[in-house]
Amino acid sequence: MNRLIVSVIILAALAAGCFYSVYVTSDFTHSMSDCIDNIEQSFTDGDDEQAVKYAEELHDQWDKILHYSILINDLGHAMEITSCIAEISSFAEEGNDELYAACDRAQAQLELFREMQTPTLWKIL
């Protein structure tokens, strides 16, 4: 009987950790999406210095996610996001209009990252 109780407790702890991880990932990615929106808005307003500042903040946020995320199972996708963020920083510094396309790619990649971290029955099976 004690084994059953311990098993249920372990299962509950794993489920709680899983849902907390999903919450943290969702919170981080929403924060990054807001930062990307700020970059685009600053660039549209002609404030290149502010756009560069937000791009640096975006880079720092992504580094924080990579540093604390030990369960990223698709490093290729993580590298794609890193590449998009590097493009955003580069285009913001140059004042290049390709910044909008890079921001759109980054938003799409973050959405995919968020969906990949969400547990579903199909991912478990």
Classify residue 97 by its DSSP letter: T
Q: pLDDT for 103-125, tens place per residue?
A: 999 999 989 888 887 777 776 66
Q: pLDDT for 47-75, tens place per residue?
A: 888 999 999 999 998 888 777 665 555 66
Give the pTM: 0.79
10: Cβ contacts below 8 Å, ≥ 6 apart:
none
The domain made up of 23-124 is a member of CATH 3.40.390: no
The residues spanned by each domain of the chain are: 23-124
